[in-house]
Amino acid sequence: MARPADRVLSLASRVAAAASAVVVMLIALFVGWEAWPALRDVGSRFVTDSSWHPAAGTEAGTFGLLPMAAATGAAAAGVLVLATPAALLSAIFCRFYAPRPLAMIYRRLVELLAGVPSVVYGFWGLVVLVPLVRRLEPPGASLLTGILVLALMILPTVALTVDAAFGRAAEEHLAGGAALGLSRPTLIFEIVLPASRSGLATGLMLGAGRALGETMAVLMVCGNVVQIPDSLFDPVRTLTANIALEMAYATDHHRAALFVSGLVLLAAVSVLVLAAGRWGGVEPEMAS
């Protein structure tokens, strides 16, 4: 009786899966295709040039992507450093310390936070956070501001993923731990945390991916000066901001060079996905 339905479902899911796989491949191919003229004519200067002035053409222009790649990496790393402990604490509170009704409300609030569009964060960063940071050290628009805004943006994503992972682990092990008479901190740090390691890794990778790819908010608060940052207060330009800033006006090799930025980003995200698969893919067995 279930067979026709099964067949339909099987077909539909196969088509859907194939479609998404094809779309990813198409995107990669398209970006590669558009980037090719610049890769061919500029080549290694994407790494060796120290500044970024692509509008002047292939000969006179400079095409250094390293400062922007460094800025993107620094931003993502800073975001993880800030967001990881905050997300962990948030999830621990929600799962183990908050009374059930409060936890429900809190979870909804965090979900709401995850749904706020990035321009809103960016705008808030520009009009509130940038002037605040400027009081510490001008100009205000800086790597630090970017990290703060991004951390706030990815915090809910990571917190919710970790919370869900804690939920699964708690279901399996909470009763056992309680029966052994373990204290709550012991239970959390010795049992639940190791058991939800993969969920944690997934959440962090998702967060890092979003931090790498975020554009509007970063464009508004980071200052967009192409340089390798010496301090947290230096303005920086990320790869995404570079594309958004210049794509509308770029022609020929300038445009292709921006697609090279996109290609580098794609590569970075691929590395993240692979890393997530390696460290977060398998649920560790408690017995081992």
Sites of contact with other proteins (CB under 8 A): 18-19, 22, 25-26, 29-30, 33-34, 51-56, 62, 119, 126-127, 130-131, 134, 138-141, 219-220, 223-226, 235, 237, 244-251, 254-255
Closest distance to other proteins from the beta carbon of 199 (Å): 33
The nearer residue to other proteins, 199 or 235, going by C-beta atoms, is 235
The nearer residue to other proteins, 69 or 205, going by C-beta atoms, is 69
The nearer residue to other proteins, 163 or 234, going by C-beta atoms, is 234
Q: Tell me the C-alpha distance between 129 and 194, whole Å.
A: 36
The nearer residue to other proteins, 168 or 255, going by C-beta atoms, is 255
Considering only CA atoms, give the Rg of the chain: 23
Closest distance to other proteins from the beta carbon of 255 (Å): 8
What end-to-end distance do the CA atoms of the chain give, in Å?
Answer: 43
Strand, helix or coil for residue 236: strand
Closest distance to other proteins from the beta carbon of 235 (Å): 6
Question: What's the maximum distance between 2 C-alpha atoms anywhere in the chain?
Answer: 73
The nearer residue to other proteins, 169 or 222, going by C-beta atoms, is 222
Which tokens is 113 given? 């936070």
Length of the chain: 288
The nearer residue to other proteins, 166 or 259, going by C-beta atoms, is 259
Find residue 63's DSSP bridge partners: 52
Strand, helix or coil for residue 180: coil
Closest distance to other proteins from the beta carbon of 129 (Å): 9
Closest distance to other proteins from the beta carbon of 148 (Å): 15
Complete DSSP assignment for 20-71: HHHHHHHHHHHHHHHHHHHHHHTTTHHHH--SEEGGG-TTT-EE--HHHHHH
Closest distance to other proteins from the beta carbon of 219 (Å): 7
CA angle 255, 258, 260 (to 5 degrees): 120
